Structure 1
């Protein structure tokens, strides 16, 4: 029994020891597992952070891939270009060759057309000259018939009046001559008013159409020769003296007196005062003939008066042609100056565009190098910068091409519709054209110190053939011209709606500003409506501001 209990105790001790050992081992394993669990948790957190970072990087790379794909599609058209500088030089050379070929072709076509036009012109001129000679002959015959008929009718009428009135007719004739003499004396005393101003257009209408400058000069020489011949042949004047010595003395006296008057009028002749001088010569004729009655009716023949009047008319015509030539030369010089300004502007624009293009290319190449060396996070920023530079480069190329195109197209330009109500009033428009690359520069020049206010722009229309469009507008509104004589003045009394309607008829969709701003003019009106004290104070303030601004500009120029 005791042995059995001893064995049971030994067995129970062994079990206790086993469980104690096992428990100790399990606790050790539990600590080890907890340590491993902690390490694994830390590792999982790191892996999760790494996964998140990788995900962001993958997203960035995908976005970058998409941007580069779009960029690649844009640059596919340049994939065959290995050397950009050489390609640009090649394109420039090609463009220069194309321009040279186009100029040569245009020159050949121009010379060919010029020859054909000259031949056609000669044929038309010859036909017109023949027709003109026929018309002149017919006019001359009609004038001779009318003169003969008029003289015959006048003579018959005078004879009938003499038979009916008797002495009263002679008295009426003397009264008429005295009235003419009285009027001539009043003109000499009071001077000649503007009623004797004859526009040169009226003289041109009195003369045979078609005479050119050289014809007028030749005709004037012929008249001067006829005047000398009349003086030599003593057919200038007549006198009722019977004694030859007295008769020749009286005729010489009145002839010299009338020629002196006529020569003075010729020396005072201008292209715009011929009407006054003709009237003055007629009055001299009446007065001298009246004074000549004291010398047995010494008188100038009407035919000689008509000859001296013709001399004045033809001399005025020559002066008018000379004035027109001077005006045309001024217009040609103005056109040359305008074209020279346009040419310089195109050259400057081309040079500036090329310079800007080169700078942008260098900046793009620099940005591309920085992009290649940049980290992934910085590449997005550099890519945006490269896109911006590429957009600017494209705009610079477009600007360069536009300047080249404008320079090559000699008829391309802008037709403008402008007004200046402060200077010319309401509904007076200037319709003109300019070939300037910046057309508003021309508008600013028109509004310089020669007019009190600046021009308002109502429409600026680009046209490939600006002179033709300008000519159409001038022809359509010809009857609304302000200056009916000088067609170089491009001002028209018409409305903006009329101009817009006509352009719509031509199929030209132009953007119009129908209301004139006229800011300076309207501000001036407001100042005029102020009380006198406030008005003077405002004017003094504006003057002081202008003076300071002028001094500031002068100081900047000196610096």
Structure 2
């Protein structure tokens, strides 16, 4: 067998061994991995995704330098082949290159296949690859150097951090766009209401002047009272337009979408808060939301924050903390809200859930059995 064919045969055996052991030993179920990880922990905390890209670019230059300087692989320098130290060193160098190529291929594949939150899987693949190379290269003392392994491991960590940061930034952008859209809707509604009130006041003012001129004082007094009521509405409207913290805190549920004892606690500045609730119950969920509490506050932002903090340990989403769903009953939220604001004039304890309850009768039997409320 020629030296080239022997080398090629060894490379094939190495790659086959790594592939076989990858399937045998590496956890490939990303869902299970994500559940074990829980809340994501940044190994290399940076402020934004562009900084992660810069860090990855710099790290990859270090990886290239390590290869150029022959620091990536450790191997014997006293291996003898056919009673020749020179031939032995050449064979070791050739095998070391092949094994480094196999390791780099596995490292690159781990980086390419990495998903946000799936770092554990990538690290396991990398470790199994290094272990396989150390075992196959034991005769020539060939193994991936610790420093080079750590560089490739850091590349995985930075990539995982980058993917998670990109995911967070996209979510923040979506939420910011939604917040701005909500603010613009509220501003337009308040401006339209102000215009309507102005017209109504002007009309009543003209009527009032005509009645006074005609000496119809009793009718004029009723119009004057209407004008006073309109003035109060204008003052309230102007206050809400000027004070961005004023709005409605709401507590809603959707047992057909999220099950029992799950509520959403949010706030809106909309003139008609039910418009916001109807939007939340659009085509993205199967059933409309039920409203348990709708409370106007001059500082709805602070009140909403207090409620979120009170139920922080019961959040459904412990990764994206800006989500507003909690494992809680409406009664529990009512009790907490009363601690902050006192008596509530309106409160609904039991959700109507009309569409959900009416729909269950048409479901297949096995579907009803799986859906526990």
TM class by smaller structure:
0.7 to 0.9
- Any unmatched runs of 5+ in structure 2? 1-16, 81-87, 366-373
CA RMSD of aligned residues (A): 3.0
- The residue that corresponds to 1:186 in the other structure is 24
Instruction: Kindly provide the CA deviation profile for residues 275-302 of structure 1, in whole angstroms up to 9, marking residues without a partner as x.
Output: 2222222233334444546x84543234
Equivalents in 1 of 2:292, 2:118: separation in Å? 40
Structure with more relative contact order (C-alpha pairs < 8 Å, separation 6 or more):
2
Taking the aligned partners of 2:233 and 2:296, their CA distance within structure 1 comes to 16
Separation in 2, partners of 1:529, 1:264: 44
The separation in 2 between residues aligned to 1:196 and 1:260, in whole angstroms, is 23
Cα distance between partner residues in 1 of 2:29 and 2:246: 51
Q: Which has the higher helix share?
A: 1
Contact 1:216 1:314 in 2 (8 A): yes
Structure label with greater radius of gyration: 1
Structure 1 residues 268 and 193, CA gap change in structure 2 (3 angstroms):
closer
Offset of residue 505 of structure 1? 2.2
SS at match of 1:461: strand
Distance of 1:450 and 1:266 partners within structure 2:
33
Distance 1:203 1:393, change over 3 A: closer
Match of 1:330 in 2: 174
TM-score by length of 2: 0.79
Match of residue 150, structure 2, among 272, 281, 306: 306
2:358 to 518, 523, 534: 523
Residue 69 of structure 1 is matched in structure 2 by: none
Q: What is the DSSP-based 3-state SS (H/G/I as helix, E as strand, rest coil) of the residue aligned with 2:251?
A: strand
- What stretches of structure 1 move > 6 A for 4+ residues in a row? 179-182
Alpha-carbon displacement from aligned partner over 1:427-480 (angstroms, at most 9, x marks no partner):
111111111121111111111111111111111111111111111111111111
C-alpha separation in 2, matches of 1:428 and 1:352:
39
Does 2:72 correspond to 1:227?
Answer: no
Q: TM-score, normalised by structure 1?
A: 0.55
Matches of 1:528 and 1:195 in 2, distance apart? 31
Structure 1 CA distance for aligned equivalents of residues 93 and 364 of structure 2? 75
1:108-507 maps to which residues of 2 (within 5 A)? 183-186=21-24, 191-192=28-29, 194-197=31-34, 199=37, 201-204=39-42, 207=43, 211-213=46-48, 219-240=55-76, 241-242=79-80, 243-292=88-137, 296=140, 298-368=142-212, 371-372=214-215, 386-507=220-341
Structure 1 unmatched runs, 5+: 1-178, 373-381, 531-559
Q: Structure 1 residues 183 and 269 mapped into 2: Cα distance closer, same or farther (>3 Å)?
A: closer
* Number of positions where the alignment pairs a residue of Structure 1 with one of Structure 2: 337
Q: Quick one: distance in 1 between partners of 2:53 and 2:163?
A: 10
CA distance in 2, matches of 1:223, 1:496: 51
Judge conservation of contact 2:106–2:125 (CA < 8 Å) in 1: no
